[in-house]
Amino acid sequence: MADMTTSNDLLEQETHAPMLNRVIAAEPLAVRQVLIELADRLRPALEPEELAHLELALAEILNNIVEHAYVGTDQGLIHLSVVCSEKVLSCAVADDGASLPAECLAPRALPGAGDGDVKTMALPEGGFGWVLIQGLCQDLCYYRENDRNFLAFAMPLHLHASHKDTPQDVPKAPRKHRR
């Protein structure tokens, strides 16, 4: 009986492990599908805001690969890995498309908007993607090797956890999301 319980627990752990590894076609509906799957998988492990931030950051990164790295080709694959530990979520994305322009990772400002004095017709319809990625992702790093792009980032978890034991000496919210 005890053995049975143990194996069931292990199975449970495998099925609901807070990680996801997928290779998807570089097209918008495949991106949408993997984000839905990722959210379903990680929902039990993350706070709603953390999940929302991850989903948004990955949407921007994956759609950027679809629209820019693989521009002009209808074939392409994206490799996505996400792993959650107790305190941090780690994510890696790889593709075989064009290299990422350096300016994408350079510090960016929001496209002209938000000062309340912008004429409607001048409002930006794009340029938000990398601002969001940079604001939501910590330790964002990129390198290219053998014609393959690698992008990795982390997200600190449970910064606002009230239901967890929080040691007194833990620094308060070491990094805030950009607003």
Partner 1 sequence: MRLIAEPRDDYMLLQLNEDRLDAAIAIQFKDAARGLIGAHPGDVVLDLRQVGFLDSSGLGAIVAVMKMVPAPRVFSLSGVTDNVERVLRLTRMDSVIPVRNIEPDSAETISDEQAAQPRRA
Is residue 105 close enough to count as binding partner 1 by CB under 8 A? no
CB distance 141 to 151 below 8 Å: yes
- Reported in sequence order, the residue ranges of 26-175 that DSSP labels E, i.e. its strands, are 77-84, 88-95, 138-145, 148-156
Chosen residue from 26, 38, 93, 132 binding partner 1 by CB under 8 A: 132
In one-letter notation, the amino acid at residue 165 is: D
Helix axes 28-42, 48-64, angle to 10 degrees: 160
At closest approach, how far in Å is the CB of 70 from partner 1? 13
DSSP 8-state class, residue 147: T
Element (H, E) at 24: strand 19-25
Which one, 71 or 123, has the nearer CB to partner 1?
123
Give residues 19-48 in contact with partner 1 (rule: CB under 8 A): 28-29, 31-32, 35, 48
Counting contacts by CB under 8 A, is residue 109 touching partner 1?
Answer: no
Number of residues that bind partner 1 (CB under 8 A): 36
Cα separation, 77 vs 28, whole angstroms? 12
Kindly tell me which residue out of 77, 135, 154, 158 binds partner 1, with binding defined by CB under 8 A.
Answer: 135
**Which residues of this chain interact with partner 1, rule CB under 8 A?**
28-29, 31-32, 35, 48-49, 52, 55-56, 59-60, 63, 66-67, 110, 113-116, 118, 120-121, 123-126, 128-129, 131-132, 135-136, 177-179
